[in-house]
Amino acid sequence: MSMLRLAIVGLGKIARDQHLPAVAGLPAVAGLPEIAIAAVVSRNARLDGVPCFETLEALFASDVAVDAVALCTPPQVRRAQAALALAAGKHVMLEKPPGATVGELAPLIASARDNGLTLFATWHSRFAPAVEPARAFLAANRPLSVKIDWREDVRVWHPGQDWIFEAGGLGVFDPGINALSILTRILPRPVFLRGAGLAFPANRAAPIAAELDLADAAGLPIRAEFDFLQTGPQSWDMRIETEGGTLMLSAGGAKLDHDGRALVDEAEAEYPALYRRLIDLVGRRESDVDLAPLQLVADAFLLGQRRGVEAFTW
């Protein structure tokens, strides 16, 4: 395959902010196929110069050839779209979170495996530049405690997107799961939920704030606080006390400090890395589906103590 022909499904904010620029900016690499947007599927939006369809069914019934689809739609509808694409013989890239529930992913994993296709459940924050250096540091320096502060303004990052507060939309866990994806990547042992407090607006089906107590198999204390109503400076930070000093992972994984000394401070380049990973997986006909971050969110809904707060309006 010299060219991976991609269909973007759902031409909303994440597609325009991240997916389109990432695909357009990927350089050609010797020995690897290039990637190009061959079609768009959206009920309301169009992309100049690219064939547009209102449904996946319409795309697959057309004479426009695609090899893979990137599902940038809300998580509540991704399972059905992924199943349809896999049945049509297409590779599938899932925006995070990969679905509205953990259980709906197993049939998709099996379908991809049985048909020699790629299913890629993306966790974009794991591709932030400081994540792998943090992982290497923690492999050599035993962590003693972890404190996560993930606070952002939903009105800035998800303006008017009601789906995020509907059942399956995850609410504050939509950004919070990015922290959990980093956490489960950098720690040397699996992580488990011990307790949670969830704040639900009176008029919404998903939480707007959450406090999680977690631990690993050795009892490492982990505290995570997520807030979707942060004003002023936004924070995506993780402070890790270790036997080798204090590790500070900040800016969503773009920066890493050790005892105040900068180790990593680079510009964001997560989505180009995601697409390079997709190209590699498709070339090897392999899948990459790690459900650990989504499982922690599901456990928070299962074990969490729910408290009501005032109604949320945009």
Active site residues: 96
What is the residue-wise DSSP string for 231-279?
-SS-EEEEEEEETTEEEEEEGGGTEEEETTEEEEE----HHHHHHHHHH
Cα diameter, the chain = 60
Residue type (1 letter), 146: V
Q: For residue 197, how far is the Cα from the chain centroid?
A: 22
Rounded to an integer, what distance in angstroms lies between the CA atom of residue 307 and that of residue 309?
Answer: 7
Cβ count within 10 A of residue 65: 9
**Residue from 296, 291, 299, 297 nearest 119 by CA:** 291
Angle at 286 between CA 281 and CA 290, to 5 degrees: 90
Structure tokens at 195: 């307790």
How many residues are listed for the chain in this entry?
314
Residue type (1 letter), 31: G
